[in-house]
């Protein structure tokens, strides 16, 4: 607290207000975690909140698990660097991640999951296709890739605390993870969803307030957007590298077929937008409600939440260029006359925290701090819970000959996932938040989405076909990351060591086409071809899955 106090005094903040806010906030989290603990009496309570979640709680928990600091800080920073083209991702998040997901996937996931007595996403697919091996393999994929996503969310929260409150990055990272661990380990999914609903409400209010204050600072909606449009010539003048990548200004899409156009469309819009359908931590939320009517009620709540949170973040990120360039004078030395990415020292992950620190006055800064802390903690709780359930319930309990209640092992799995995420938080490079999120979403889509959709709608899909699809999706994704997509292949260096170049195919646009673009179609083809070539599933099992 000494570091926090010093930072508050240095910035002229009211430490009593700050202390009171944090105390009330932590007490609220502790109470909800304790409430979840008291209501968790068995495996189904810990893993699925007893299948009796309130629709508002479910919708806010889904949205809070969906939207994290990786979206608000990482993608908001990318919008600050490249502009409002990222707003298309907001549309994708609502149309696909909420409306399509709830109405097309949600109903059948809840009904079939209950019929199969499935408590987790790997168990849902494993039971649907009568394969313990599929369940274990999916759990392994989650175990290997989920810490990457968890770590970038942790980084987003820690960078915010570092930039806004002056807390050492390592201390922020570690303490942050420890606080989340408390209510995930003891409260199970009930505790997670209760806390998520609180944090989601804080996030929605905070982001809408930030957008309103941004427009107020910049003289209104019309003047702010006109000023940003008029700054387009500065791209070529001040950002020659970005201009070469296709950047044409902050209020227009990048040049068609340019490097940034492919990154925006293939990695962010398609990879993250469609990848949301196959997120284990989101799919499991559909199995927590008792009927389809709760899903209907949750659609509107979830849509408003996404629009208000990420829509505000991307808009503020882009408009921060106007603030730094025109309004920075007198606020901080060296800020005035700089574009957002210049003010952030070239690290897009710093843009949103820096804007918040400089633009928000006094105590309001600390009040808003709860918004981004809530964003990080809500998503982390869901990711840690899914990682723990994959390790404890789906992996260890199915490998072991003794099939006892796996709640204790699941809690140990949560601890392991947290430790791995913290370690990666120290090792991953700057500017990784948005890219790390896109990688995880893309891999999940390629590995799980064809099998998940087939489990819900295609009775002819076979166990062999699902195996072929999942393995193809994972293998092609890894091959693309190691040998084709320049951003990762060059950083990892394996392709360079084996073949003497950063990527196997250098012709434009292939080094910039996200692996998701070709791994998902190949996974779908593998599912269809192998399923049609193998024996159809048993009618009795299908009748159990699809009975109304």
Query: Given pLDDT bands bounded at 50, 70 and 90, which one contains residue 50?
Result: very low
Name the domain boundary from 376, 398, 432: 432
Name the domain boundary from 372, 397, 432: 432
Domain ranges, residue 94: 2-432
Query: Given pLDDT bands bounded at 50, 70 and 90, which one contains residue 165?
Result: low
Query: Given pLDDT bands bounded at 50, 70 and 90, which one contains residue 364?
Result: low
Query: Do 245 and 339 form a contact (C-beta atoms < 8 A)?
Result: no
More confident residue, 540 or 502: 502
Query: Do 276 and 68 form a contact (C-beta atoms < 8 A)?
Result: no
504 shares a domain with 395: no
Query: Given pLDDT bands bounded at 50, 70 and 90, which one contains residue 53?
Result: low
The answer, yes or no, to whether residue 330 has pLDDT greater than 60, is no
Specify if 258 maps to a domain.
yes
Which residue has tokens 């629009």? 307
Rounded distance between C-alpha atoms, residue 87 and residue 438, angstroms: 16
Which pLDDT value is given to residue 203? Answer: 80
Q: The domain spanning residue 340 has which CATH number?
A: 1.20.1730.10
The answer, yes or no, to whether residue 302 has pLDDT greater than 90, is no
The 3-class SS string of 181-212 reads: HHHHHHHHHHHHHHHHHHHHHHHHHHHHHHHH
Specify if 443 maps to a domain.
no
User: Which of 35-39, 161-165, 326-330, 454-458 holds the top average pLDDT?
Assistant: 454-458
475 shares a domain with 423: no
CB count in 10 Å sphere of residue 500: 7
Specify if 441 maps to a domain.
no
Mean pLDDT of 255-278: 87
| Paired tokens of 142 | 């989650």
The answer, yes or no, to whether residue 174 has pLDDT greater than 60, is yes
**Per-residue pLDDT tens over the stretch 450-470:** 999 999 999 999 999 999 999
Specify if 442 maps to a domain.
no
Query: Do 439 and 152 form a contact (C-beta atoms < 8 A)?
Result: no
289 shares a domain with 379: yes
Query: Do 338 and 324 form a contact (C-beta atoms < 8 A)?
Result: yes
Residues of the chain with pLDDT > 70: what percent?
77
133 shares a domain with 32: yes
88 shares a domain with 143: yes
477 shares a domain with 426: no
DSSP for residue 173:
H
Rounded distance between C-alpha atoms, residue 139 and residue 515, angstroms: 22
Q: Residues with Cβ < 8 Å from 356, sequence gap 6 or more? A: 160, 164, 210, 365, 368, 369, 372
Rounded distance between C-alpha atoms, residue 495 and residue 89, angstroms: 31
> Phi/psi class of residue 329: alpha, beta or left (left: φ > 0; alpha: ψ in -120 to 50)?
beta
Which pLDDT value is given to residue 546? Answer: 73
529 shares a domain with 411: no
The answer, yes or no, to whether residue 332 has pLDDT greater than 80, is no
Which pLDDT value is given to residue 315? Answer: 94
Domain count, the chain: 2
**Per-residue pLDDT tens over the stretch 133-153:** 898 888 888 888 888 888 887
Q: Residues with Cβ < 8 Å from 156, sequence gap 6 or more? A: 68, 69, 70, 72, 73, 74, 349, 372, 375, 376, 433
Q: How many residues are present in the chain?
A: 548
DSSP for residue 64:
H
Which residue has tokens 């070539």? 533
Mean pLDDT score of the chain? 79
Query: Given pLDDT bands bounded at 50, 70 and 90, which one contains residue 3?
Result: very low
Query: Given pLDDT bands bounded at 50, 70 and 90, which one contains residue 527?
Result: very high
Mean pLDDT of 294-304: 80
132 shares a domain with 23: yes
Specify if 440 maps to a domain.
no
Which pLDDT value is given to residue 49? Answer: 46
CB count in 10 Å sphere of residue 2: 6
410 shares a domain with 361: yes
Specify if 437 maps to a domain.
no
The answer, yes or no, to whether residue 21 has pLDDT greater than 90, is no
Mean pLDDT of 26-38: 63
User: What is the widest separation between alpha-carbon atoms in the chain?
Assistant: 74
Q: Angle between the 132-165 and 463-483 helix axes, to the nearest 10 degrees?
A: 40
Rounded distance between C-alpha atoms, residue 523 and residue 488, angstroms: 21
Rounded distance between C-alpha atoms, residue 402 and residue 396, angstroms: 10
482 shares a domain with 419: no
Query: Given pLDDT bands bounded at 50, 70 and 90, which one contains residue 478?
Result: very high
Which pLDDT value is given to residue 397? Answer: 63
Alpha helical stretches, state H, 458-515:
463-483, 486-492, 494-499
358 shares a domain with 239: yes
Geometric angle at alpha carbon 220, from 218 and 226, rounded to 5°: 75
382 shares a domain with 265: yes
Specify if 447 maps to a domain.
no
The answer, yes or no, to whether residue 118 has pLDDT greater than 50, is yes
Specify if 448 maps to a domain.
no
pTM flag (> 0.85): no
Name the domain boundary from 388, 416, 432: 432
Rounded distance between C-alpha atoms, residue 485 and residue 489, angstroms: 6
The answer, yes or no, to whether residue 405 has pLDDT greater than 60, is no
Mean pLDDT of 343-355: 85
């Amino acid at each position: 607290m000494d570091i926090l106090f010093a930072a508050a005094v240095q910035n002229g903040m009211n430490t009593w207000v700050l202390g009171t806010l944090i105390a009330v906030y932590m007490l609220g989290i502790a109470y909800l975690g304790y409430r979840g603990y008291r209501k968790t009496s068995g495996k189904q309570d810990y893993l699925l909140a007893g299948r009796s979640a309130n629709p508002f709680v479910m919708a806010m928990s889904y949205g809070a698990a969906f939207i994290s600091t990786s979206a608000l800080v990482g993608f908001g920073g990318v919008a600050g660097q490249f502009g409002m083209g990222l707003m298309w991702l907001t549309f994708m998040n609502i149309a696909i991640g909420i409306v399509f997901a709830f109405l097309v996937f949600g109903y059948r996931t809840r009904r079939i999951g209950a019929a199969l007595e499935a408590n987790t996403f790997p168990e849902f697919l494993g039971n649907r296709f009568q394969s313990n091996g599929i369940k274990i393999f999916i759990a392994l994929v989650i175990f290997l890739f989920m810490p990457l996503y968890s770590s970038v969310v942790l980084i987003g929260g820690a960078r915010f605390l570092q930039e806004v409150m002056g807390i050492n990055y390592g201390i922020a990272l570690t303490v942050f993870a420890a606080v989340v661990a408390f209510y995930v380990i003891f409260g199970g999914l009930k505790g997670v969803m209760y806390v998520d609903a609180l944090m989601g409400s804080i996030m929605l209010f905070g982001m809408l307030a930030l957008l309103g204050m941004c427009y107020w600072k910049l003289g209104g909606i019309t003047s702010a957007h006109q000023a940003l449009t008029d700054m387009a010539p500065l791209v070529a003048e001040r950002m020659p590298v970005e201009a070469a990548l296709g950047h044409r200004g902050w209020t227009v899409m990048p040049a068609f077929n340019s490097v940034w156009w492919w990154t925006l469309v293939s990695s962010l819009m398609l990879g993250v937008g469609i990848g949301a359908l196959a997120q284990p931590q989101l799919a499991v939320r559909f199995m927590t409600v008792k009927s389809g009517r709760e899903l209907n009620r949750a659609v509107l709540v979830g849509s408003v939440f996404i629009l208000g949170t990420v829509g505000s973040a991307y808009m503020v990120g882009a408009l921060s260029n106007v603030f730094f360039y025109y309004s920075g004078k007198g606020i901080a030395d060296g800020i005035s006359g700089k574009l957002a990415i210049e003010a952030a020292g070239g690290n897009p992950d710093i843009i949103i925290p820096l804007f918040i620190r400089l633009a928000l006055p006094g105590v309001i800064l600390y009040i808003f701090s709860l918004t981004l802390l809530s964003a990080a903690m809500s998503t982390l709780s869901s990711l840690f819970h899914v990682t723990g359930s994959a390790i404890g319930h789906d992996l260890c309990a199915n490998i072991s000959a003794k099939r006892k209640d796996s709640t204790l092992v699941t809690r140990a799995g949560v601890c392991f996932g947290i430790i791995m995420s913290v370690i990666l938080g120290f090792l991953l490079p700057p500017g990784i938040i948005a890219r790390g999120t896109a990688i995880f979403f893309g891999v999940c889509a390629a590995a799980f989405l064809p099998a998940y959709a087939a489990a819900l709608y295609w009775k002819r899909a076979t166990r062999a076909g699902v195996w072929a699809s999942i393995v193809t999706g994972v293998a092609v994704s890894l091959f693309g990351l190691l040998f084709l997509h320049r951003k990762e292949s060059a950083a990892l260096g394996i392709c360079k060591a084996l073949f003497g170049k950063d990527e196997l195919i250098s012709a434009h646009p292939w080094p910039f086409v996200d692996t998701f673009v070709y791994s998902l179609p190949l996974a779908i083809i593998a599912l269809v071809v192998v399923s049609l070539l193998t024996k159809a599933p048993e009618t009795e099992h299908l009748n159990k899955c699809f009975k109304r």
